[in-house]
Amino acid sequence: MKKILVRVLLVLLLAALGFGGFVYYMVHNSTSQIYSYNKKTNKSSDDKTASKKSVAYLLLGTDTGELGRSYKGRTDTMIVVVVNPKSKTTTMVSVPRDTKVDFDDVTIKINAAYSYGSSDTAMSAVEKLLNIKLDGYMLVNMKGLEQLVDAVGGVTVTSPLSFDYEGKSFVKGQSYDLSGSDALKFSRMRYDDPQGDYGRQMRQQQILTAVIGKVKSNPTTVLSQKFLDAVGKNVRTDVSLGSVKNLAMEYRDAGNTIKSDQLHGTGQNIDGQDYEVMSDSEITRVHNLLQNAIDAK
């Protein structure tokens, strides 16, 4: 059940929105380990960030351990992130892991697009589903979330419901200081949530937002060897160092207002597989939401 977890790698992206030189230094020192060149997205991201235009990235979270593993896994967390320096907002939209999509004329769950291909394949699946253009991806594995949370000294969240999971109890309305392992427990529970995977997605976004806030409040944490090691082992991205530098210098105010949403579908069993089937109206709603976030002045 080791699934999901947030691309705390947005720490790399959104972190850049608040601490300029600190994140630039961090990425510079981790680039050889985490960076993967992609001519198409590099140019798109570099051109847009150089011109201070909105950018849209896909945050991917795998269900496995460190990225050096032989087992590839699936991206059980998929979040589209739009960063708009003009409206000074960041918009996050979660895409359910079981979303039904067509892949090479075969029906699959969208979280399998990565395992069948690559991060680029996962991006293409999301672009096709929502009719949007993405400027790059950031990939983090589940173990990475735990290590990143610990590297920033833990996070504080308020539980939206009461539940027990793997020996940890949470009470609705109470705030908790979470270590990395407890952050995983808070984020992973699904079956006891009345909203199922949708409730889990929102808790993932809570952890993500908390990590961003923690790093922004103390940007020197990204210079720690512990943080750098966690990033190097568990993060991969095609967002170039140049783009991250531009984000750090020109987009920092967009990290102050973070808006969250979800793509909502209807559960259906098709040929023995459980899918979340998205209506045309819901896909249009989310497309418009993201496009408006990109175009906002």
Per-residue model confidence as pLDDT tens digits over 19-71: 444 444 455 555 445 556 566 666 788 899 999 999 999 988 886 654 454 55
Q: What is the pTM of this model?
A: 0.77
- 54 and 92 fall within a common domain: yes
Q: Which residue has the tokens 């892949």?
A: 103
Query: How far apart are alpha carbons 251 and 212 in whole angstroms?
Result: 14
Q: What is the pLDDT of residue 143?
A: 65
List the domain range (segments joined by +) for residue 201.
Answer: 42-295
- 24 and 107 fall within a common domain: no
- 2 and 81 fall within a common domain: no
Tens of pLDDT, residue by residue over 135-175, are: 999 887 766 778 878 888 899 999 999 999 989 999 999 99
Query: How far apart are alpha carbons 267 and 274 in whole angstroms?
Result: 7
Higher pLDDT, 110 or 219: 110
Residue 163 sits in a domain whose CATH number is 3.40.630.190
- 30 and 159 fall within a common domain: no
Whether 287 has a pLDDT exceeding 80, the answer reads yes
- 117 and 210 fall within a common domain: yes
- 16 and 65 fall within a common domain: no
Fill in the DSSP letter of residue 256: G
Long-range CB pairs of 48-54, under 8 A, 24+ apart, other chains included:
48/135, 49/242, 49/243, 49/246, 49/247, 49/250, 49/251, 50/242, 50/246, 52/85, 52/86, 52/246, 52/250, 52/251, 53/85, 54/82, 54/83, 54/84, 54/85, 54/86, 54/293, 54/294, 54/295, 54/296
| Both structure tokens of 221 | 């944490």
Q: What is the DSSP string of 10-39?
A: HHHHTGGGT-HHHHHHHHHHHHHHHB---H
Total domains present in the chain: 2
- 17 and 60 fall within a common domain: no
